[in-house]
Amino acid sequence: MTENSTSKVVRGLKGVAAAETRISYVDFNGFLYYLGYNIDDLVGRVTYAEVAYLLVHKRLPNRQELERFKSELVSSMRLPDQIVDSIARSPIDSHPMDILRTEVSHLGLYDPDGEVFSKETNIRRATRLIAQVPVIVATIFRTRQNQPVLEPKDEFNLAQNFLYMFTGRMPEAAESNVLHRYMTLHADHGFNASTFAARVTASTNSDMYSAITSAIGTLKGPLHGGASEKVMDMLDDINLEQEIEEYIMGLLDDQKKIMGFGHRIYRAQDPRTKHLRGMVEDLCHRERTMRLFKKCFQIENIVYSRKKIYPNVDFYAAVTMDALGVPKEYFTPFFASSRISGWVAHVIEQYEDAVLLRPESKYVGGFNIPFVPMENR
Q: Residue numbers of the site for ligand CMC (CB under 6 A)? A: 12, 192, 223-225, 227, 257-264, 307, 309, 312-314
In the complex, the smallest distance separating the C-beta of residue 20 from ligand CMC, rounded to whole angstroms, is: 21
How many other C-beta atoms are found inside a 10 Å radius of the C-beta of residue 135? 25
Looking at beta carbons only, is 87 or 219 nearer to ligand CMC? 219
How many other C-beta atoms are found inside a 10 Å radius of the C-beta of residue 184? 27
Beta strands 24-27 and 37-38 are unpaired
314 is catalytic: yes
Q: Which of 106, 186, 189, 263 is catalytic?
A: 263
In the complex, the smallest distance separating the C-beta of residue 59 from ligand CMC, rounded to whole angstroms, is: 27
In the complex, the smallest distance separating the C-beta of residue 155 from ligand CMC, rounded to whole angstroms, is: 33
| Closest residue by Cα to residue 257 from 233, 289, 288, 292 | 233
Looking at beta carbons only, is 152 or 225 nearer to ligand CMC? 225
Q: What is the DSSP string of 55-79?
A: HHHSS---HHHHHHHHHHHHHT-PP
Contact 23, 342 (CB under 8 A): yes
Looking at beta carbons only, is 119 or 307 nearer to ligand CMC? 307
Q: Which of 111, 188, 314, 322 is catalytic?
A: 314
Q: Is 31 helix (H, G, I), strand (E, B) or coil?
A: strand
**Chain centroid to CA 330:** 12
In the complex, the smallest distance separating the C-beta of residue 216 from ligand CMC, rounded to whole angstroms, is: 13
275 is catalytic: no
Contact 156, 366 (CB under 8 A): no
Contact 72, 65 (CB under 8 A): no
In the complex, the smallest distance separating the C-beta of residue 171 from ligand CMC, rounded to whole angstroms, is: 25
Residue closest to ligand CMC (Cβ): 262
| Closest residue by Cα to residue 295 from 282, 280, 309, 307 | 280
Looking at beta carbons only, is 154 or 236 nearer to ligand CMC? 236
Looking at beta carbons only, is 39 or 313 nearer to ligand CMC? 313
| Whole-angstrom distance, CA of residue 163 vs CA of residue 172 | 10
Active centre residues (catalytic):
263, 314
